[in-house]
A = this chain, B = another copy of it.
Amino acid sequence: MNFSISEENYIKSIYHLQQQTDTVTTNSLANELQTRPASVTDMLKKLQVKNLLEYEKYKGFRLNATGNKVALNIVRRHRLWEYFLVTKLGFEWDKVHAIAEELEHISSKDLIQKLDNFLNYPQTDPHGDPIPDVHGKIPVIRQVSIAEVPVKKNVTVSSVGNQSPEMLELLDHYHIGIGTSLKVTMRFSFDGSVEIKVLKQAACIISEQVAKNIFVYHD
């Protein structure tokens, strides 16, 4: 089956929203796609007819097995292109999302296979998010947010939750990126803020909100 660019964007957004809440609402999807709830309802009907959704009027919706597979394929293309843009073309990690948003819709199987091979089968994209394989299998990455890391444990940054330009700007400012090694030196119970120490950098304090969005694994 082949899908339009619009259909693919809907499918992918539903997939992402499902990571947080099992069943997705019309409003949240409209908000995610910067469109109107009425437009979402229209598209839901089409996706249901194409047998990608479980959807009951007024009750919310979710991807079925088929829809999930389609979504994972789009996510795979998106993340492979992001990896390409950063590692081969030299883009900054906060500049690649919009471009990958277009590249992901080129659906030649052969293209993605050869791209994957050219990139040497990367496991994660530039934001630390796992890249599904051809069959839709996602490498599991054991990680916790800095908000949950015990003091004095050495950890390495594996991914970023909130990937807004504002967040990425902040991380760049602190010189924190995927693969950065650091240690939690102190945690303030007053507001949940955390003091961290990156090798060769002065210690700095990040808010609980930021801490919750930086994921790390124990060394």
Task: Say yes or no: is A144 at the interface (Cβ < 8 Å to chain B).
Answer: no
Which of the residues B89, B111, B117, B118 comes within 8 Å of A111, measured between beta carbons? B89
A98 neighbours in B (Cβ, 8 Å): 108
Question: Shortest beta-carbon distance, A90 to chain B, in Å?
Answer: 6
Q: Contact: A114 with B90, CB < 8 Å?
A: yes
Please state if A106 and B99 are interface contacts (CB–CB under 8 Å). yes
Min CB gap A10→B, angstroms: 19
Report copies per complex: 2
CA distance A204 to B166 in the complex (A): 65
A115 within 8 A of B: yes
Do B114 and A95 touch across chains, with their CB atoms under 8 A apart? Answer: no
Min Cβ gap A121→B in Å is 14
Task: Provide the residues of chain B in CB contact with A108, threshold 8 Å.
Answer: 98-99, 102
Q: Kindly identify, within residues 14 to 32 of chain A, every residue whose CB is under 8 Å from any CB belonging to chain B.
A: none
Instruction: Report the nearest B residue to A108, measured CB to CB.
Output: B99
A156 nearest CB across to chain B (Å): 28
Whether B95 pairs with A102 at a CB distance below 8 angstroms is no
Contact A118 B99 (CB under 8 A): no
Considering only residues 165-196 of chain A, those with a C-beta below 8 Å from chain B are none
Q: Does A148 contact B (CB under 8 A)?
A: no
For A114, give the chain B residue with the smallest CB separation.
B89
- Cβ-based interface call for A219 (8 A): no
| 0/1 interface trace, chain A 78-113, chain B, CB 8 Å (1 if under) | 000000010011110001001100110010101100
Shortest distance between the CB of A107 and any CB in chain B (Å):
9
Q: Which residues of A contact B (CB under 8 A)?
A: 85, 88-91, 95, 98-99, 102-103, 106, 108, 110-111, 114-115, 117-118
22 inter-chain pairs at a CB distance below 8 angstroms, sorted by A residue, are A85-B111, A85-B114, A88-B118, A89-B111, A89-B114, A89-B115, A89-B117, A89-B118, A90-B114, A90-B117, A90-B118, A91-B110, A91-B114, A95-B110, A98-B108, A99-B106, A99-B108, A99-B111, A102-B106, A102-B108, A103-B103, A103-B106
